[in-house]
Amino acid sequence: MISVIIPTYNRSSFLKEAIDSVLDQDYFSSRKNGSANEIWVIDDGSTDTTKDIVFTYNNRVNYHFQSHKGVSAARNTGLRLAKGQFIAFLDSDDLWKKNKMAVQMSLMRSLPKTMVCYSEETWIRKGVFVNPKRKHRKYSGWIFDKVLPLCLISLSSALFRREVFDKIGIFDEDFPVCEDYDFGIRLAHHFPLHFTTRSLIVKRGGHHDQLSRKYWGMDRFRIKALQKALRLDLTPQQAEKVKREIVRKSMILVQGFRKRNKAKEAEAYLNLIEKYDSFKEVK
């Protein structure tokens, strides 16, 4: 069984298209594969018409409502409810292309030791196609060092074996944003990843309620994830790369806080720089 988990919060304008993109999968539409799958919409406290939209699908889509706790809590609820041996997530503002699950299940079956595969993405911002920058290039294999600069793995593009979560745990609910960055670090530390260059999802951005637009200074949360990563069983080389990334991101934040005349906040990150790079002269 494949369990598809769609966390959502007040995104009724996007939700139907997201659900339809799952139901329209070539893989699910075949009689052979369609009966052994489930879709969970986890409503994280919506006050719009989310529930009404889901109920139009009758028993094809499962619905769970909870008080507003954030996207990590919604995904974790989905994991507790899911029965599948394979787990896939879809953010409610993203879309799957029709062949996503067929391509990834074929990969998983041909590579039985692969625990997770993810794909290239098509980006749309405010209705306009956007080309990813060079820094967004994705990789296969042991990619721990590649996931440190930025969040490289889109959860909407990934397919996981259930055992992944038994090994590395669930999403950290202490992160209001960058929870996927924290999860990606743990994932890349424990497993090699299989990447397919085929674009299998559409990521829609630029809307006002994106979490990345709600919080200034996202590197604050990435640094928190990097400090947490130092508690993993890292090699000396991995630990050094994590510390260097903490220093790099802290320097960016120091500049940002100084521009905003927030000396106290800047001082906190200057202290981190001194802690993790005692040879760097800080001015």
Q: What is the tens place of the pLDDT at every residue in 196-233?
A: 999 999 998 755 555 555 667 899 999 999 999 999 99
Each residue of 132-172: pLDDT tens digit?
A: 888 889 999 999 999 999 999 999 999 999 999 999 999 99
Architecture of the 2-213 domain: Alpha-Beta Complex (3.90)
Let me know: does 168 contact 187? Beta carbons within 8 Å. Answer: yes
pLDDT band at 282 (very low <50, low <70, confident <90, very high): very low
Q: Give the confidence band of 283 by pLDDT, cuts at 50, 70, 90.
A: very low
Residue 278 corresponds to which tokens in the numbers above?
């005692």
Tokens 């993109």 -> residue:
21
Domain with CATH 3.90.550.10 in the chain: 2-213
**What pLDDT, on a 0 to 100 scale, did the predictor assign at position 132?**
81
State residue 126's pLDDT score. Answer: 81
Q: Is pLDDT above 80 for 36?
A: no
Mean pLDDT, all residues of the chain: 92
Q: What is the 3-state secondary structure (H, E, C) of the chain?
A: CEEEEEEECCCHHHHHHHHHHHHCCHHHHCHHHHCCEEEEEEECCCCCCHHHHHHCCHHHCEEEECCCCCHHHHHHHHHHHCCCCEEEECCCCEEECCCHHHHHHHHHHHCCCCCEEEEEEEEEECCEEECCCHHHCCCCECCHHHCCCCCCCCHHHCEEECHHHHHHCCCCCCCCCCHHHHHHHHHHHHCCEEEEEEEEEEEEECCCCCHHHHCCCCHHHHHHHHHHHCCCCCCHHHHHHHHHHHHHHHHHHHHHHHHCCCHHHHHHHHHHHHHHCCCCCCC
Specify the pLDDT at position 133: 84
Q: Stretch 62-68: mean pLDDT, rounded?
A: 98
CA angle 229, 232, 235 (to 5 degrees): 100
Q: From CA 139, how far away is CA 162, in angstroms rounded? A: 22
Question: What pLDDT does residue 281 have?
Answer: 45
Q: What is the pLDDT of residue 134?
A: 86
Q: Is the pTM of this model over 0.85?
A: yes
CA 165 to CA 160: how far, in whole Å? 9
51 pLDDT more than 90: yes
